[in-house]
A and B are shown apart, each in its own frame.
Chain A
Amino acid sequence: MSHNEQAVESHGHVHRDDVGAKMGMWLFLFTELLLFGGMFLIYAVYRFQYPEQFHFAGMELNTTIGTINTIILLTSSLTVALSITALQKGNKFLSIIMLTITIGFALFFMVNKYFEWSAKVSHGIYPGSEEMLNKQNGEILFFGLYYVMTGLHGLHVLIGIVLLTFILVMIIKDKIISTDLVKLENSGLYWHLVDLIWIFLFPLFYLIQ
């Protein structure tokens, strides 16, 4: 097969299957889709059951911080995509810069999340608090889902920071190069998924007016 020969020729004795690697990544992303999909399903059912209470509880969330975090994630998606193009074009320096900016945005996102959550907690709104238990069922469900869904999303952001840092080091050490960058591409896919989930979390939680 010419495919194999080509791989052998250009990469010594190492055989790679980039399409297979990407397919594996996509399969993983589908399991993530179902994980979050189940939560969105719970959200949808309870929102239909308690529309007014969801509306009322949603007013408590900070739309400004939500919007800022949306822009941060969208821009970090751009920079990770640019990092891939840069490395494909052989511009290692630009790739490193773009990936560093991506990690910076991810940290910025988590700092905002920290301030957002601490403000909620200081108002007594956290799972199991006395203030929460005195609220109506729909509101309790809204805040419960808010903490679980944005919390699980935040965990994904943290994992993304660790993952992208490893990738950054590998690029610096020339372990990931312009002809062998499927690890960078797959990490990019993961990062875009984190962005994708936020695209739905944002209007469902922060934009209930």
Chain B
Amino acid sequence: MDNQEHKNEHEHHITPYSTYVYVWLGLIALTSITVTIAGISLGDYTLAVALLIAAVKSYLVINIFMHIKYEELIFKVFLILSGLTLLVIFALTFFDFTYR
């Protein structure tokens, strides 16, 4: 079993054409939603909604297009670590900015 998995890994997981097309349709749909929402005034939530949609789009691109879903665990660890690093930098800067 382990051997089999290793073999598959070595041979690469092949993502079907259809998966990519579905993800692309999703990305286009999310783009139209974010453009439409930008025209509606949601007050303070406008930015939050726009960033949330951008986050969902990145999740799709990273997982499917960039194949992270099918990579070894270490790739996911690296990704989460670098994402957290960026988050910490943002949090610390805003802490400094707010209480200066």
Contacts and interface: CB of A to CB of B under 8 A. Distances in A.
Contacts, number: 115
A175 B94 CA distance: 49
A177 interface: no
B6 A41 contact: no
B48 to A, nearest CB: 11
Interface of B: 3, 6-7, 10, 12, 14-17, 20-21, 23-24, 27-28, 31, 34-35, 38-39, 41, 46, 50-51, 53-54, 57-58, 61-62, 64-67, 71-72, 74-75, 78-79, 82-83, 85-86, 89-90, 93-94, 97
A203 B51 CA distance: 8
Contact of A45 (B39, B62, B86, B94): B94
A76 B94 CA distance: 35
B78 A27 contact: yes
A187 interface: no
Given A30-B78, A203-B51, A209 B39 contact: yes
- Interface size on A, as a range, is 35 or more
B33 to A, nearest CB: 11
Contact of A23 (B10, B17, B75, B89): B75
Contact of A192 (B7, B10, B65): B65
A interface secondary structure, majority:
helix
6 contacts: A2-B3, A88-B12, A195-B61, A199-B54, A199-B58, A203-B50
